[in-house]
Structure 1
Amino acid sequence: MAASTFSDVIVSEDIRKRFLISSIVLGFTHLTFEIRQFIYDPIKWIIDPWNYLDLGAFLVPTITSIYWLVLENGTIAPNSSFVQKPDMNTNMFTDYGTSVLSMYLYLIGDPNALSNWEYKNNSQLTILMVLFSLLIAVYLMNLLIGLLSNAIEEDNNRVSYYHADVDETRRKIKELIKDGEWNSDKFSEMKQKLLNKLRIQDK
């Protein structure tokens, strides 16, 4: 999909159309998978929010590819013009590297890469910006924070607590006492508490 936005110097018109057609074919292929899942268990498919994210993930590129094929060069108006003289930074989305850079700048709060379009007359751009902000800033960041907190909590539980079978522990301690390996000089208070819990008499 990104290759279809390259200039004619990098990607020819024929190759661009092939990219767009392949994006449409792949999009409809993934759509058939979702339809099969929906037919198999409609209720389970509807209540699962991840299915809606999957649906949007391949429907947006598919619809965009169809849009680019119907309207030549993807232009909204046939007689579009620039107020300022176009340069290499006028449209950073004509190259894959600069498009990634513009998205990085947008993430850190610099929307200048998107300021060349009027948001009022480009509702698609506004909707994509809002969805991108919600997905990255709200959903994805909170998801990563939640996963990190769960990992830290599991690690704390692993470090703080040791689960052992009572009978097995009692048997092992009695063996250590019998063999004379139960040294009461180290961690004596903790060992005494453990003996009291297990009801073992240290002779």
Structure 2
Amino acid sequence: MPVGAVSISTLLLELKFLIFFRAIDVIGVYFAIIIEVVKSAFSFLIILAFIVFAFAHSLHLLLRPTTRISLDYPSHSNDLNDPNDPWNLVSTYNSISENDSISENLTLTALPTATTNMFIMLNTAILAVYILLTGDSTYLSNWILTENLTLVILVVCFSFFTNIYLMNLFIGLLSNSIAEMNKKELFLLQKAKILAEIELLYLLPYQRRKNNWFPELIVHYDKLRDIIKIIKNGKWNSTDELLFIHDTLLKIYGMDFEEKFGLKT
């Protein structure tokens, strides 16, 4: 079995083991938040992926060599003036004589690698731009920016609109999404989905028909203090259900039912 398949299988198995903790209150809340945040940010991620592809395609067309090249040996037919040829991008070394004069003839040349010019192929260009999204500009360090105005414009536009603007906007959207979520409600909904998953996938047909295992109604009991807190914050959706809370309890928690909602008990 290939080593890559083994590593991917190990990763998926360990992540699957982590999923078993979804039903625990302390950990399950964060699972529910992660899933909901991904759903809310999915459209934004599609836009970001398209922008990365657009810049990668542009840099691929700008920085690819003009002729066919080989990384194993230099070809005499290659254009020595091509600034995108990996053999012209590698470091060169000159010898220094005893009188500290530098020889004009090259003595040593470093061998190019697949990462010398990541923009030769479109797929590696996408990877290089994705790494550039994290702020790492290593794969652009082989070019002199002052000698390529188009490259400077693309780098400045990408760094400003993507690294600075879009990434900060993405962080802001995530913060707003998390702040607007009802963590407890998401966790209870996740527990209900877990019960449905167990019933559909892990039980035999005769077990699913047992009424004493699966009641028709599942009632969740909440703390009165939490309910009063929701009412005081004005986040209770239905005012009609407030009639079931006695006015004495409201006074104990500092709530004036008539003044806040204009209703009489």
TM-score for the superposition, normalised by structure 1: 0.44
Q: Higher relative contact order at CA 8 Å, sep ≥6: structure 1 or structure 2?
A: 2
Name the structure where strand makes up a greater proportion of residues.
Answer: 2
Name the structure where helix makes up a greater proportion of residues.
Answer: 1
